[in-house]
Amino acid sequence: MKVSVQTPHFVADQKLINFIQKKMDKLEQFYDHIIYADVFLRLENTSDRQNKVVEILLSVPGNELIVKKQAKSFEEGADSCAQSLERLLVKRKQKIRASA
């Protein structure tokens, strides 16, 4: 699966990009028809400690899944997004099996 990480207004560390790539690759265990993933990392301009926003757009045949999480670190946000996407993909797979 092709994963593109976009970070407007800052440069992401290679370790962070590798971490996100690994999380996205794990999603293929749950649903193997994923086309691509677009990951957006943003810093919110607030005084709150949870000012990092991770938004993932996952393209699967016939649909796009979008998950957005706010956390203290990008790693934490990416992890929670991956867990949400995992649940969505499992539901989608069950729905497809039920209709087939």
SS3 82: helix
Query: Containing domain of residue 59, as a range?
Result: 2-99
CATH code, 55: 3.30.160.100
Average pLDDT of the chain, as a whole number? 92
H/E stretch holding 36: strand 36-43
Number of structural domains (the chain) is: 1
The pTM for the full model equals 0.90
pLDDT tens digits for range 20-55: 999 999 999 988 889 999 999 999 887 788 899 999
